[in-house]
Amino acid sequence: MAQHQSALKRIRRDKKKTPLNHAHISRLRTFIKKVEAEISAGKKSEAQIALKEAQPEIMRGVSKRVLHRNTASRKMSRLNARVLKLA
């Protein structure tokens, strides 16, 4: 068990932030799964709409610090490439 005041404060802070972080991550995954579902179904227009909805959510994850900005850029780039590949 932590003994220092700063360590005890960190434990209290983490206890509050962990559920919020998990909620943000879950929300991100949901938006990404929607795009991937449209891609696998072969629906280009719906996939583009889902991607446009997912991009702000991914960047919101960056601002909330649950996702690294390079990771977010990579995810958006790969999703966009897959959407563009649909014919």
Q: Could you report how far apart the first and last alpha carbons of the chain are, in Å?
A: 58
Distance CA 85, CA 8 (A): 51
pTM for the predicted model, two decimal places: 0.86
Token match 């563009």: residue?
84
Query: Of 23, 74, 28, which is closest to residue 53 (Cα–Cα)?
Result: 28
In the CATH hierarchy, which fold is given to the domain comprising 5-85?
A: Methane Monooxygenase Hydroxylase; Chain G, domain 1 (1.20.58)
Along the 87 residues of the chain, how does pLDDT read in single tens digits?
889 999 999 999 999 999 999 999 999 999 999 999 999 999 999 999 999 999 999 999 999 999 999 999 999 999 999 999 997
Amino acid at 21: N
Domain edges within the chain: 5-85
Confidence at residue 2, expressed as pLDDT on a 0 to 100 scale: 87
